[in-house]
Structure 1
Amino acid sequence: MDRLQFAVPVRIAPVPSQPVEEIYSVEQALDFLQTWPVRRKGPTYQAAFNACFGAAVDIVETEDAWRAFMAFCRVSGLLARDMMVPPRKRGGEARGLRA
């Protein structure tokens, strides 16, 4: 398995009437984040972008990037209804994730 591939794909529904998309890797998450409208880029977006970029350059764990991207999608209302959200890690927040 590629080190930048997510263990569980992130299922998103950017447009309610369109099919669900699956994001399988850090690279796909970065591609998605780079198309996000500038006027909607807030702290959760920045945390997700930083974590995914950090994973791409091998300074952040892929799981932490996945969690940050999941948080961004959840806060932005993008998560598909059937996406299961795992419990948080014990011992605090994942790196790169700020609420």
Structure 2
Amino acid sequence: MGDYVRVAGTADVKPGHAIVAEVNGKTLAVFNVDGTFHAIDNTCVHRGGPLGEGDVEGNVVTCPWHGWQFNVTTGECLKNPAAKVEVYPVKVEGDDITVLA
């Protein structure tokens, strides 16, 4: 298994928002849900929309292209339970957000 990679500082991701980060060749969306950070694949499984650019409400992100919604803590799609995006482990080390991808 790989190492955790720093993707941002905790102050860089405001509550209710996301950033997009590259980790080991993967594009991830990193979310702040009430001070807890979560990382999922940035690509919507429906049509490839950028989830990191979607609106976030609670622990749900809405894809800006076609409105598919995903739980950022589990990767599950609310519209189609069979569809899922990859979830990546996140650790906060001091003021650094790190992701294992």
TM bucket (normalised to shorter chain) is under 0.3
Q: TM-score by structure 2 length?
A: 0.27
Q: Which has the higher strand share?
A: 2
Q: TM-score by structure 1 length?
A: 0.27
